[in-house]
Every structure is written in structure tokens, then in C-alpha cells.
Amino acid sequence: MTSTSAPPGPGGLYPDLAGQTAIVTGAAKGIGQSIARRLALEGMRVVAVDMDEEALPGTVRALRQLGAVVEEVCVDLARDESVEAVFDATLRRFGTVDLLVNNAADLQRRDFLDEHQAILDLQLATNVRSPYLFSQRAAAVMSRNGGGSIVLISSVGAERAHQLGLPYDMTKGAINSLARAMAVDLGPCRIRVNAVGPGVTRTYRWPDDGAEERSRIMTQIPLQRPGTVDDIASAVAFLASREASYITGQVIYVDGGITAQLSPPGPLAL
């Protein structure tokens, strides 16, 4: 497991998170892995959820090497029964849930006129239905235990369409609406709900070649660099902490300024 920035110091930046329990979906690689790592460094107990049975054990081992208390759950989030499997394991091990991070998503994109009904069905199940059902189950636990926090991982594609964006962008637009609607419903239960929208982010999917293309993309980002997985993880940790106790129903774009632009200097191919 790699990190692109120095970890927080002893005790973490948000001491109130220490000892709490977090579920992170899509935790095996990329942004989800970094979120799980950051929450572990904050002293949280982490339930790492993913369908990648090859990568997930390595991530869990790395978290335990940091001293984290981790529960590993390998499930296919497109299947409804995964919800109960994850919560059964979580409640059996830790007895509660304080934070849910709905990060897992299918990232495929197709031209609208191309045949992609199978991808549409998969993304509706993985990117929309799964976060909806996971949040519903988490909220039931949190409401009995005095509150909690739900963070959904969205995308700049929910705000400004990719040139090749469907059906992915549509599902992320749904995530933003879900965050706002849940925040309104769950506020009286002391459950805060927010979304984080990454822009161009350097993950394991970042190509090793194509330096010229990467350079062109950087010129279209106001901060002129890609985001890191730790940039996204930092936003999640903040939103989960007491420092964000009056923030709910918001979408925080961690995008180097992409969504602030009306006319970037050329098409932005994320």
C-alpha cells in the first residue's frame, strides 16, 4: 500500500474518530484503499469491503501492520445480499457503525448511442442501489446509537459531463441527489450525509505512458496537477470528524478547480 503524502501524526488529526467503527466499500485499491488507510491512522476500526478477492487481503494486511483493527469482507456489491453480509460481520465484530463510506463503483463509460444495457444494469446496481441500501442499513444502526456520518464518493462527472460519460456520470448525479435527500431525512437522527467528488486523481489506473497527454490534461486543471488518493481520503476524514459537525447535505469537489471553470482551454478528457 502506498501513500503520496505524510500520514497524520500520533493520534491522528481528529482524535474524536479514534475507537469508532467505519465501513469502507471498494477498499482494496485506489481511493477506497487510501480512505481505509487514513481512517485507520485516525484510530478507527475499519471494515474493508471489496469484491477483489486477490487485492483485498493485501490491503487488510497492510492496515494491520499499521496497528489497525480490521474486519475483511469480500462480497459483490451489485448483489443485494451483500448488505446483510457486511453488516452481520460488522455488528458481530464491533457492535456498531459510526461511519459508512460508499466508495465502490463501476467506472465503465460508453457513447450513448452504443449498446451498453449490461453496463447500465451493473452500474445502477453497484453505483446507485448498493449505496442506497448500505446507507439505509447503516442509518438504522446509527439512529439507535445516537447518530453517525455517511460519506458517498461522487465525481466531477455529476456536475459537468465527461465527453464520454454514460452511464457513469448519470449514476454519480444520482449519488449527489441521494446525499442531499438523505441529509434532510436523517438530520433529526443526528446522522450527517455528505458526498466527495474527486476530479482527475492519480490512482493505480493512472497510465505509465502518455506523458504528452497527461501534460495536456494538467494544463486544463487550475491547480495544474492531478489529485492524489490522499487528497480524497483527507476530505473524507474531515467530513467524518467533529470538525464538520454542522456540515450535511453537501457535495465537496476535490478537483483542483475543474468544476469552477466555465471554459477550460480544450476538452478535458478525464
- Residue listed under C-alpha cell 493505480: 204
70 dihedral zone (left: phi>0; alpha: psi -120 to 50; beta): beta
Torsion of CA 200, 157, 25, 56, to 10 degrees: -40
Determine the Cα–Cα distance for residues 59 and 25; give it in Å rounded to an integer: 13
**Contact present, 197 and 253 (Cβ < 8 Å):** yes
Determine the Cα–Cα distance for residues 217 and 215; give it in Å rounded to an integer: 5
Determine the Cα–Cα distance for residues 189 and 183; give it in Å rounded to an integer: 10
Catalytic residue among 14, 168, 204, 253: 168
- Residue listed under C-alpha cell 442531499: 180
Determine the Cα–Cα distance for residues 78 and 122; give it in Å rounded to an integer: 7
Determine the Cα–Cα distance for residues 222 and 156; give it in Å rounded to an integer: 14
246 is catalytic: no
**Enzyme catalytic residues:** 168
